[in-house]
Chain A
Amino acid sequence: GNSVTQMEGPVTLSEEAFLTINCTYTATGYPSLFWYVQYPGEGLQLLLKATKADDKGSNKGFEATYRKETTSFHLEKGSVQVSDSAVYFCAFEPTGANSKLTFGKGITLSVRP
């Protein structure tokens, strides 16, 4: 069945370090892919998305490329900041009417000064 797998956490980095959070999915067809972020005390919010193979989503210095051949959508940022400390969720939505958004387990990122 459809599923999404995120790397195990938590992740702790120093400020200005490079970040990679792995995400792979299992789905038929060409799902849409998302990264959502949950800052402390706030609701989930969309960080970036990609709707077809080789698309690159980007926002706030974060990037993720839709790789159909490896069924992956890894999140990267070249230089993290303390304000990036949050929980990050990979998610996908299969094609088709009324398909539902499915989330990974989430990974906690802590950035220390």
Chain B
Amino acid sequence: EAGVAQSPRYKIIEKRQSVAFWCNPISGHATLYWYQQILGQGPKLLIQFQNNGVVDDSQLPKDRFSAERLKGVDSTLKIQPAKLEDSAVYLCASSLDRVAGANVLTFGAGSRLTVL
């Protein structure tokens, strides 16, 4: 099966500019996640969708970050305006459902953002 697709792979912008990342999950996966991975740290969940509804966005900086998942398939994560500390890899993941009590996520390759 095709994996989780993300674009762009790399993006360099100046602070206060805006940027958008796109994710196409595995076909049939109901749950979609966006994680932020800052260099030297583990991924941190930004937002979780179940179909096209938000399940958890408690760690999303809502003053500058937004995300949507129209029609419950593709998703877009936007940052506006960007700050230097937003430099990170943005990971998209999807999951079918809980498997034997453990929710197995499939990750995309990530979008690396550098803010200058």
Q: Which residues of A contact B (CB under 8 A)?
A: 32, 34, 36, 41-46, 49, 51-52, 89, 91, 93, 98, 100-106
Q: Whole-angstrom distance between the alpha carbons of A44 and B95 in the complex?
A: 13
Q: List 9 A-B contacts (CB under 8 A).
A: A34-B102, A43-B108, A43-B109, A98-B55, A100-B45, A101-B45, A101-B103, A106-B40, A106-B42
With contacts A44-B107, A105-B40, A106-B41 taken as known, whether A100 is within 8 angstroms of B101 at the C-beta atoms is no
- A100-B45, A105-B41 known; 15 other A-B pairs, CB under 8 Å? A32-B103, A41-B109, A42-B109, A43-B108, A44-B107, A51-B100, A51-B101, A52-B101, A91-B42, A93-B102, A101-B33, A101-B103, A101-B105, A103-B42, A104-B42
Contact with A46, one of B41, B43, B104, B108 (Cβ below 8 angstroms): B104
Q: Whole-angstrom distance between the alpha carbons of A18 and B106 in the complex?
A: 28
Is B110 part of the contact surface with A, judged by Cβ < 8 Å? yes
Report the minimum CB–CB distance from A89 to chain B (whole Å).
6
Q: Which residues of A contact B108 (CB under 8 A)?
A: 43
Q: Which residues of A contact B75 (CB under 8 A)?
A: none
Closest A residue to B95 by CB, please name it: A101
The reply to whether B91 and A93 form a contact with Cβ atoms under 8 Å apart is: no
The reply to whether B56 and A100 form a contact with Cβ atoms under 8 Å apart is: yes
The reply to whether B48 and A44 form a contact with Cβ atoms under 8 Å apart is: no
Report the minimum CB–CB distance from B19 to chain A (whole Å).
19
With contacts A43-B107, A44-B107, A105-B41 taken as known, whether A49 is within 8 angstroms of B102 at the C-beta atoms is yes
Q: Which residues of B contact A100 (CB under 8 A)?
A: 45, 48, 56
Report the minimum CB–CB distance from A31 to chain B (whole Å).
10
Q: Whole-angstrom distance between the alpha carbons of A46 and B43 in the complex?
A: 14
Q: Which residues of A contact B101 (CB under 8 A)?
A: 32, 51-52
The reply to whether B103 and A43 form a contact with Cβ atoms under 8 Å apart is: no
Is B67 part of the contact surface with A, judged by Cβ < 8 Å? no
Is B4 part of the contact surface with A, judged by Cβ < 8 Å? yes
Report the minimum CB–CB distance from B79 to chain A (whole Å).
20
Q: Which residues of A contact B40 (CB under 8 A)?
A: 105-106
Report the minimum CB–CB distance from B6 to chain A (whole Å).
8
